Structure 1
Amino acid sequence: MRLLVVEDERDLVEALRVGFVRAGYAVCVARDTTQAAERLQADPYDVVLLDLDLSGRDGFELCRALRRTAHGRTARIIMVTARDRLDDRLLGLAEGPDDYLVKPFAFPELLARVRALPHREQGDDTAILQVGDLRLDISRAEARARGRELGLTPKEFGVLRHLMARCGQVVSAEELLEHVWGEHADPFTNTVRVTVGNLRRKLGAEGVIETVISRGYRLREGS
């Protein structure tokens, strides 16, 4: 899952980046609304954490503009701000975000809110992905095959989630790196191959994840 942090507090940015990477998210950062708008115009994100008090364009204006774009209509937006008055919260929620969280907050609460957001990928409004005997509960970060808990690492979960969302399609290693590991991933690393190998062993079903030579990987439909 790709997550964009729009925040200018350096310590908070680093804490959020480390926390979400450990939880299995691919994290990108924008320090102001101008940089955020550029990133959001270029790439789709699953979740946007948007601080309202930034230099450049107002956070409310950015939220409104984002909702008018194709990428913005599919992204989940959480406003994160120190504005804690009731009228601020009501105004914030009226601008179209999916949640509003007041600073200071505990990271486990933010992570729980992100995981609880309904899943919008490919127009799906549920937090459950199901392909044959495979079942992913996005909000609980649980993966099961034939009713058995798989015990996946965050990166294994992220790879399987991405493949399930694109079941039957070929997904390149580069795409998996971008969506599961983030913008700073080494393009020459073999981490995708290793993670897919570990995932195959845990799935325990021959050929569920197919290797398409020179192109990438594909989750077999009806797995």
Structure 2
Amino acid sequence: MRLLVVEDESDLAVALVAGLGRAGYAVDTAATGAEALEKLGGTDYDLMVLDINLPDIDGFTLCRRIRADTDAADLRILMLTARGGLPDRIRGLDEGADDYLVKPFALAELLARIRALLRRDTGGGSAVLEVGDIVLDDGRSWARRGERELSLTRKEFAVLRYLMTRAGHVISAEELLDHVWDENTDPFTQTVRVTVGTLRRKLVVGDEPPVLETVIGRGYRIREPA
């Protein structure tokens, strides 16, 4: 999943990128509201972590603008701010935020809230995904097929998570690149093909047909059980 962190404190932004990246998310950053709007105009983010105290426009105003934009109206927004008073929390939610977390915060709680918000898009009620005999625990960052635990890189885990939330649907390489890799990735790279290839091999069981299929000319699909 691809996240946008809107935070003008550079040290915190760097820490968030590191922490969210370790959890398998692709993370871009913006230090101002204007920069955030520019990036939102060019990228289909899954979720935005938004500070209120920005140097140009405040987070409340930015949130309201985003909700008025039909192209970004479904974006999940988590406000992350030092302004913890009840009026601020109420205003943030009324302006369109999906959740509100006060600084200082524990990274584990932030990750849990992000997982909960992202599950709303896929109708999931748990951090554990199951497709056939593949089980992925997003909260504990492990996956297995049958009784065999899978040894996956962060990107392989992220690709598997994205495909499992859309099991049965063909996902293009471009969509995977947009949602699993960040803005620093060369769009002409073969990283999607290579990552999917190594993930497919790790999911193979004996002589069974691959559960991760390539649909020629269209993309990739996790095969649902019959």
Q: Which runs of 5+ in 2 are unaligned?
A: none
Contact in 2 for aligned 1:133/1:145 (Cα 8 Å): yes
Q: Give a deviation string over 1:50-100, Cα, whole Å, max 9, x none.
A: 010113332112212323444544332111112122332233233332222
Query: Partner of 1:60 in structure 2?
Result: 60
Q: Give a deviation string over 1:86-145, Cα, whole Å, max 9, x none.
A: 3322332333322222223343332233223351335x2534544333343444444343
Displacement of 1:4 in angstroms is 0.6
Q: C-alpha separation between the residues in 2 aligned to 1:70 and 1:220?
A: 33
Contact in 2 for aligned 1:117/1:139 (Cα 8 Å): no
Give runs of aligned pairs for residues 148-167 of structure 1, distance below 5 A. 148-167=148-167
Give runs of aligned pairs for residues 1-223 of structure 1, distance below 5 A. 1-121=1-121, 124=123, 126-127=125-126, 129-146=129-146, 148-205=148-205, 206-213=209-216, 215-222=218-225
Shift of the 214–199 alpha-carbon distance from structure 1 to 2, 3 Å rule, reads: same
Amino acid at match of 2:110: L
Q: C-alpha separation between the residues in 1 aligned to 2:72 and 2:136?
A: 24
Displacement of 1:213 in angstroms is 4.1
Amino acid at match of 2:224: E
TM-score, structure 1 as length reference: 0.82
Question: In structure 1, the residue corresponding to 2:143 is in which secondary structure?
Answer: strand
Q: C-alpha separation between the residues in 1 aligned to 2:95 and 2:176?
A: 32
Identity of aligned residues (%): 58
Q: C-alpha separation between the residues in 2 aligned to 1:50 and 1:93?
A: 12
Aligned length: 222
Contact in 1 for aligned 2:203/2:210 (Cα 8 Å): no
Shift of the 118–2 alpha-carbon distance from structure 1 to 2, 3 Å rule, reads: closer
Question: In structure 1, the residue corresponding to 2:79 is in which secondary structure?
Answer: strand
Q: Give a deviation string over 1:134-178, Cα, whole Å, max 9, x none.
A: 343444444343365434332112111222233344333333222
Contact in 2 for aligned 1:30/1:36 (Cα 8 Å): yes
Shift of the 208–154 alpha-carbon distance from structure 1 to 2, 3 Å rule, reads: same
Question: In structure 2, the residue corresponding to 1:207 is in which secondary structure?
Answer: coil
Is 17-26 or 70-79 further displaced after alignment?
70-79
Contact in 1 for aligned 2:7/2:51 (Cα 8 Å): yes
Shift of the 144–215 alpha-carbon distance from structure 1 to 2, 3 Å rule, reads: same
TM-score, structure 2 as length reference: 0.81
Question: In structure 2, the residue corresponding to 1:184 is in which secondary structure?
Answer: coil
Q: C-alpha separation between the residues in 1 aligned to 2:62 and 2:159?
A: 30
Q: Which runs of 5+ in 1 are unaligned?
A: none
Displacement of 1:211 in angstroms is 2.5
